[in-house]
Amino acid sequence: MKVESLCLRELRMRLKSPFETSFGVTQDRRILLVEIVCDGVSGWGEITAGETPSFNSETTETAWHVVSEFIAPRLAGKQLDFARDFPTLFAGIRGHQMAKAGVENALWDAEAKQANVPLAKLIGGTLERIACGVSLGIRSDAKALVATVEKELASGYRRIKLKIKPGKDLEFVAAVRHAFPEILLSVDANSAYTLADTPHLKRLDQFNLLMIEQPLGWDDIYSHARLQGQLETAICLDECITNAQHAASALELRACRIINIKLGRVGGHTEARKVHDVCRSVGIPVWCGGMLEAGVGRAHNIAMSALPGFTLPGDVSASQRYWHEDIIEPEVTVSPDGTIAVSGEPGIGCAVRRELVETLTVRRRDWKPGSITA
């Protein structure tokens, strides 16, 4: 694959409704899209960094900087055999997984399109449909939350995840569990608690939760091992797992019994597949997390979720839950049985709506081999 050109854009997109987690509220997304042309074929990637450095240390702005200064100028004109060679080529850049993932995943899309195969197949996916859940932001009152859960279940979603934080936890979980005694229910704290909260977190054991996601420090695998030893409920790690080595360490320490894989957090399809393989080799289930993605990121998530170890419903849900208009065609839709079909079309399996993308773009930078900038 010869990289002929790269284009980095920032899009402004407003979520249909604000999304609240323990680290803040998001409504206006600043989304970065990467388009890479290889041998005349366009591949697309999305950078899933947040607007603030709250989930991890990256932001839209840091990703723009890293791609513009350190990745794009070096990649333009390069000859790569495979997209999977990208991480080695850019191993000199420490961290910045989300910035790197957006670029690497665009190469994967281009490679799959050139080979005329679906991306899901190229990375080793076997599933034809993926199971979907939803992640529900923190609400002001439990009654409103129960009504939302009822609506999502009626749409077919197979697992409900509630965002929690201190003061917005037991009462909300109790209300939902009371209204729906049998559903797959989980919670996600985004690191809002400490080990000192262990007695409080043990009270969540009474609700028969599928998992408690990332209760403790974002970079603290050790404390999760201490906590997991005292909880009946499975811990799922999200923020802590940024590569396959961390996954192996966490599993050896028994810090969790489930892992959430996010393409951006681990740096792209190559590392995501390694995390998947580590988990699968020891029978640990994985599922695909979400970062409030637009369509390109969503399509990559679906491709990854076709790997055989993705045995739990993910946070990948329909475009229309997030956006009045998504940037891909067809949009992501969920069938009444709560599943999404993995596309059989080449690459990410959808077309990017260029006119809409153009309208939403607030800045853009282009690279071609030999040009210093454009």
User: In DSSP terms, which residues pair with 36 in a beta bridge?
Assistant: 6, 43
Q: Give, as ranges, the residues between 292 and 331 that touch ligand OSB (CB under 6 A).
A: 292, 315
The whole-angstrom separation of Cα 111 and Cα 109 is 5
Stretch that binds Mg ion, among 46-54, 98-106, 114-122, 186-194 (CB under 5 A): 186-194
Stretch that binds ligand OSB, among 57-65, 97-105, 145-153, 288-296 (CB under 6 A): 288-296
Residue 233's Cβ-side half-sphere holds a number of Cα atoms within 13 Å equal to: 24
Q: Does 290 bind ligand OSB (CB under 6 A)?
A: yes
Angle at 22 between CA 16 and CA 26, to 5 degrees: 25
Give the one entry of Mg ion, ligand OSB, none that residue 109 binds, where binding means its C-beta sits below a cut-off of 5 to 8 angstroms depending on kind: none
Catalytic (active site) residue 274: no
Catalytic (active site) residue 2: no
Answer for which of 5, 190, 243, 270 binds ligand OSB (CB under 6 A) is 190
Strands across the sheet with 258-261, in order?
134-136, 160-163, 185-188, 211-213, 235-237, 258-261, 286-288
Which residue's beta carbon is nearest to the bound ligand OSB?
290
Q: How far is the CB of 240 from ligand OSB (least distance, A)?
A: 12
Among 100, 113, 161, 262, which one carries the catalytic annotation? 262
- Name the residue type at position 66: V
- Residue closer to Mg ion, measured from CB, 36 or 192: 192
Q: Does 22 bind ligand OSB (CB under 6 A)?
A: no
Give the one entry of ligand OSB, Mg ion, none that residue 339 binds, where binding means its C-beta sits below a cut-off of 5 to 8 angstroms depending on kind: none
- Residue closer to ligand OSB, measured from CB, 135 or 339: 135
Answer for which of 55, 64, 310, 367 binds ligand OSB (CB under 6 A) is 55
Q: How far is the CB of 46 from ligand OSB (least distance, A)?
A: 12
Stretch that binds ligand OSB, among 36-44, 122-130, 225-233, 286-294 (CB under 6 A): 286-294
Q: How far is the CB of 256 from Mg ion (least distance, A)?
A: 12
Answer for which of 43, 45, 264, 289 binds ligand OSB (CB under 6 A) is 289
Catalytic residues: 163, 262
> What residues make contact with ligand OSB under the rule CB under 6 A?
21, 55, 135, 188, 190, 238, 289-292, 315
> What residues make contact with Mg ion under the rule CB under 5 A?
188, 213, 238
